[in-house]
Each structure stands twice: as structure tokens, then as C-alpha cells.
Amino acid sequence: MFNSISVGVRIAAALAATTIAGAAFAQSGEVNVYTYRETKLIQPLFDAFSKDTGIKVNTISASSGLEQRIKSEGEHSPADVLLTVDIGRLEDAIRAGISQPIVSPVLDKLVAPQYRDPEGHWYAISMRARVIYASKERVKQTAITYDELADPKWKGKICIRSGQHIYNNALFAAYIAKHGEAKAEAWLRGLKANLAQNPSGGDRETARDVAAGKCDLGLGNTYYWALMINGGPAQKPWAEATRVILPTFEGGGTHVNVSGVVLARHAPNKANAMKLIEWLAGEQAQHMYADINYEYPMRAGVAVNLTIAGYGALKPDPLPLAKIADNKKKAADLVDKVGFDN
């Protein structure tokens, strides 16, 4: 049975697994998770699950390529669960043919229809929003729309990571789904014209650059700001120099994305996988998502962390995530068409 090991050894082990019958990986007290989540963010949940159930969680983690890896392993794959961030990757798993429907009245009750696959191939477990990090010193506005980011008044004042990154791709895809490609292209051109510098770095670096005065506004996920303000002395000043604004679409709400789960098509430990998936939607796990990862819990009645609550009340945009995923490629093509990253 495999455990969490170095990336190189993990890859070799995963490839070697294709020559062994899938049944050989079935263990009554184990479940195998392929995950895009950072170990330090997700391991506390796995430890708590094991303590509650006695089921050991084995993990393989990577920053990309897990869907392809599971597909290459085929029916001999040891994967039981794929745990990922971003609606695009959840839909990629379906298109790769590596998922099977999750049949769970528990999840159907807890997860709203717009946050799950219509045929049950994935369910959201937690949520985050794509927001504005605004300079406390230079930005007096307390409300803003995504559309307004293309307003010339912000010329030379916006910082952002690559337009092709999955977080921005999802936001751009949502804009296409709501307004069509033509309007989305005009909006992207306007946003590009307002950039203070070429897209670079990550969401934390965006806050850093706002704090340094390179720009007045930056786009980032909700949890990064919380991690910075509650983190060490290196990044805390970046958060202290900014405040979070929850932007909205015209006539809509704030764009949200999710962390979600997929039940692997050939899961050798399916019963244990279902126990884990449903446990992640339970109260204990949802509190942990809120207080350790600073995400919005998917389960109603679970309190949002106080730092996240300080942003104001989140009004999620009602657009089904599956429709956002349908426009993922169009968004990527538009980013290239307008030369957004150049």
C-alpha cells in the first residue's frame, strides 16, 4: 500500500500501479486520495477523519496532471477520491472519464444544485470568492463591480496574476457565461489597459504590490488575505495595507469557486471513499474548512471564520458552476486573443 511520499517516487509508484490489479489496493481500513490541495491545508482534515473512523488516508499530491494520471492507470488505478480546487478541474475529471456518479442523499441535502454536477459526478465541499484587495490609503470606495475594473479611471492601477491561471480563468469564464464573448472581450481589453504591470506572481504577491504602491487594486481569493493577516511578519504587512472588497457582477453576486470531490471510476475502496466524501460535508470538517483553511463552508449553519466574516456578507452569484466550466476554453482563448499576459 502506498503512503505520502516524494513527488518523484509518487510518480514512479503510480505508474507501476498500472501493472497491478486494482483489487490489490483494496484495504478494509484505507482510502486513497489524489489531491491538488496543499498538504498543510488538507492533512488536518484527513487526520480527524482517521481518528473518527479508523480509516487510514493515503495521499498522492500534485499541482497538475492528476486526471491524466488516473486515466493512464485505468482500471488498475489505486485512486478512490480526487480532491481538487476549481470548477474547471472538476469538469476535466468528468471529460477524462475517470469519475463515477456519487449517490448520496446526504450530499443532495447539504449541497445546493448549482454547486454539484447535474449527474452527480462531483460535489463542492467548500467555497471561496474572487475579490479585490484594495489599498486602504489610496482607495476610498467600499463597493465595486467586476465590470468597473475596465473603467479607465483605474488606468495603471490594477495588479493581477496570469489571466490563464485557473482562478482568473474561472472568473473570465463566468463573465462570458453571463454576458457573451463579445462583451467579455471588450471587458478584458479594458481590464488589460488598466494594469499597472504585466500579470505575474500569485494572489499574495498581488497584495504585496498593492502594499508597495505599485497598484491600488488587486484580484485575489478570499482565503489568501486571511492567511496573510493571521500569518507571519513577512506577509502580514501586505494584508494590513489592504482591505477586502467583495465585488459583484452587474445585477448579480460575487463570483465564487469551489473545492470539490470526485469518486474515482475504478475506486477499489468505494465504501471508504463514500465515508470520506460524506464526512467532508459533515459539521466537524466544515468547521475545519472555515477555521483552518479560511474557506466558506458549504454546509448551512456552520459559521464563517471571523476574519472572513469581516469582509462583509457574501452574496454568491447564482450562476451554476457547470455553466462556468462550459466557458473555460473560450476564456483561455480570449486571454490569448487580447494578449492579456503580454
pLDDT above 70 (res 234): yes
Domains in the chain with CATH codes: 7-126+258-304 (3.40.190.10), 128-255+312-337 (3.40.190.10)
18 pLDDT band, cuts 50/70/90, is very low
> How confident is the model over 293-330, as pLDDT tens digits?
999 999 999 999 999 999 999 999 999 999 999 999 99
Residue 39 has a pLDDT of: 80
177 phi, psi to nearest 5 deg:
-60, -35
Model confidence over 62-88: pLDDT tens digits? 989 999 999 999 999 999 999 998 998
What is the rounded average pLDDT for all residues in the chain? Answer: 92
- With bands split at pLDDT 50, 70 and 90, how would you rate the model's confidence at 37? confident
Residues 6+ apart with CB under 8 A from 13: 2, 5
As a whole number of angstroms, the distance between CA 118 and CA 149 comes to 32
Degrees to nearest 5, angle at CA 88 with 290 and 97: 115
Task: Output the pLDDT for position 4.
Answer: 39
What pTM value is reported for the model? Answer: 0.88
Q: How far is CA 175 from CA 57, 135, 158, 203, in A?
A: 38, 25, 18, 20
pLDDT band at 41 (very low <50, low <70, confident <90, very high): confident
- Give the three-state DSSP class for 341: coil
Mean pLDDT for the stretch of residues 287-292: 96
pLDDT at position 40 is: 80
Tell me, what's the pLDDT at 136?
A: 98
| pLDDT classification of 232: cutoffs 50, 70, 90 | confident
pLDDT at residue 289 greater than cutoff 80 = yes
| Average pLDDT of the residues in 209-219 | 98
Give, in order, the Cα–Cα distances in Å from 51 to each of 44, 55, 261, 310: 11, 8, 21, 32
From CA 334, how far away is CA 164, in angstroms rounded? 10
User: Is the distance from CB of 166 to CB of 89 less than 8 angstroms?
Assistant: yes
pLDDT at 16 over 60: no
Q: Looking at this protein, which amino acid is placed at residue 281?
A: A
Mean pLDDT for the stretch of residues 217-244: 96
pLDDT at res. 27: 53
Average pLDDT (113-142) is 96
Look at the block and give the residue holding cell 486571454. 335
pLDDT above 70 covers a percentage of the chain that reads 92
Query: For residues 31 and 272, is the Cβ–Cβ distance under 8 A?
Result: yes
Answer yes or no: is pLDDT of 116 > 80: yes
Res 8: pLDDT: 37
In the chain, DSSP finds a helix count (H) and a strand count (E) of 15, 10
